């Protein structure tokens, strides 16, 4: 029972209608529970709606807690490992934020903490592929993103210090200079604080240009990582679909074989069952023939291509041998000509010496 409860609470898989309905109920409850944040005054019906939505979210929290060992895939482990999974589950960051977001409506936290209801958005992260993609990208590229953040913060502090030094008439304190440096680096520029000297304006232009590069760098990193995650997920989904189809075909064949054995074991059996089995066997045989014909055609194509490659290799080899033979004949002829010239020179030398 707990296993089925875990399957329902997790993101719905294909053909799991109960889990899919449960997902939509939780998403609707999370969105409706934040509806009062859009109004200054809360009508009674809205407060009641939020309360029931929070009850649903709290029940989801309890369901996930009692199936924490399935989440950690340690349901078959020893008691110590399973107990550890149950004890550590409430302290996971996303789970903790989700639980804290329910406390103001349940009356455990006062009205000053109503803003914590925004953390109910973390519930949607369990059902959104895009949010999971972005989360994985931030985890994988955290070193690069932290390096860019370090550069940006360092530049903000340095540019704010320089601006505060040369533009003291424009900034009342250093924090106001930090505020200006942040808006200039992000190319927002509200205009409520602006430099008046030429040095300050020069620094402002440099900050804006540097800000374009700083903002574009992490945007490109996140976009590239996001595309890679989508491609990886698509490839994984295609692999899973192929495995499911293969498993379904195997199960179908096993069922057909079992049915055929049952019919044979029953002796005479019913005629309809026998005909059904024969039809299944005939269909399977026809499918096997089609597959065999396709394999034979592919094998013939491979043999044909192999023959073509062998013929091309033989032609290249013959051409190489012809070139080698031609070069050898030419070399031999040249050697004979040189030897004849050498003998002729030797004879002339002997005649000259005799004279």
Report which of residues 218 and 294 the model is more confident about: 218
Model confidence at 113: pLDDT above 50? yes
Q: Are 158 and 142 in contact (CB under 8 A)?
A: no
pLDDT, residue 281, reads 47
Averaged pLDDT, 9-16: 76
Nearest to 117 by CA among 53, 59, 64, 66: 53
b/e string for 115-151 if b means 16 or more Cβ within 10 A?
ebbebbbbbeebbeeeeebbebbeeebeeebeebeee
The CATH class given to the 142-246 domain equals mainly alpha
**3-class secondary structure for 147-207?**
HHHHHHHHHHHHHHHHHHHHCCCCCCCHHHHHHHHHHHHCCCCCCCCCCCCHHHHHHHHHH
Model confidence at 21: pLDDT above 80? yes
pLDDT, residue 354, reads 47
Q: Give the phi and the psi of residue 324 in degrees, each rounded to 5.
A: -70, -40
pLDDT, residue 16, reads 77
Model confidence at 316: pLDDT above 50? yes
pLDDT, residue 324, reads 46
Confidence of residue 351 (pLDDT cuts 50, 70, 90): very low
What are the tens digits of pLDDT across the range 123-138?
777 777 777 788 888 8
Report which of residues 39 and 161 the model is more confident about: 161
- Each domain of the chain, given as residue ranges in start order, spans 2-127, 142-246
Q: Are 207 and 185 in contact (CB under 8 A)?
A: yes
- DSSP string for residues in 65-121: HHTHHHHTT-TTS-HHHHHHHHHHGGGSHHHHHHHHHHHHHHTSS-GGGGGGGGGGG
pLDDT, residue 334, reads 55
Specify burial of residue 103 (Cβ count, 10 A radius: 0-12, 13-18, 19+): middle
pLDDT, residue 322, reads 59
> pTM to 2 decimals?
0.52
């Amino acid at each position: 029972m707990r296993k089925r409860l875990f399957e329902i609470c997790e993101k719905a898989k294909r053909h799991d209608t109960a889990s899919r309905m449960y997902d939509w109920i939780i998403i609707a409850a999370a969105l409706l529970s934040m509806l009062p944040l859009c109004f200054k005054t809360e009508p009674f019906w809205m407060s009641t709606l939020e309360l029931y939505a929070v009850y649903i979210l709290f029940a989801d929290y309890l369901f996930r807690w009692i199936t924490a060992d399935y989440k950690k895939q340690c349901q078959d482990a020893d008691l110590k490992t399973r107990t550890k999974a149950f004890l550590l589950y409430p302290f996971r960051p996303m789970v903790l934020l989700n639980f804290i977001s329910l406390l103001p409506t349940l009356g455990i936290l006062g009205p000053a903490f109503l803003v914590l209801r925004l953390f109910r958005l973390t519930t949607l992260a369990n059902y959104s592929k895009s949010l999971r993609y972005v989360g994985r990208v931030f985890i994988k590229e955290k070193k690069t993103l932290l390096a860019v953040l370090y550069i940006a913060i360092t530049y903000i502090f340095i540019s704010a210090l320089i601006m505060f030094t040369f533009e003291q008439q424009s900034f009342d304190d250093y924090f106001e200079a930090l505020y200006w440096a942040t808006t200039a680096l992000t190319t927002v520029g509200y205009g409520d604080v602006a430099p008046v000297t030429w040095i300050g304006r020069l620094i402002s232009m440099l900050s804006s240009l540097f800000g374009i590069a700083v903002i574009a760098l992490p945007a490109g990193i996140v976009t590239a990582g996001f595309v890679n995650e989508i491609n990886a997920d698509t490839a994984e989904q295609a692999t899973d679909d192929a495995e499911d189809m293969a498993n379904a075909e195997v199960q179908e064949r096993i069922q057909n074989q079992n049915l055929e054995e049952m019919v044979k074991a029953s002796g005479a059996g019913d005629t309809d069952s026998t005909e059904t089995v024969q039809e299944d066997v005939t269909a399977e045989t026809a499918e096997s023939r089609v597959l065999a014909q396709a394999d034979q055609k592919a094998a013939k194509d491979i043999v044909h291509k192999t023959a073509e490659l062998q013929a091309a290799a033989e032609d290249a080899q013959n051409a190489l041998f012809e070139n080698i033979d031609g070069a050898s004949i030419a070399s031999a002829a040249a050697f004979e000509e040189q030897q004849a010239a050498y003998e002729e020179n030797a004879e002339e030398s002997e005649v000259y010496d005799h004279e």
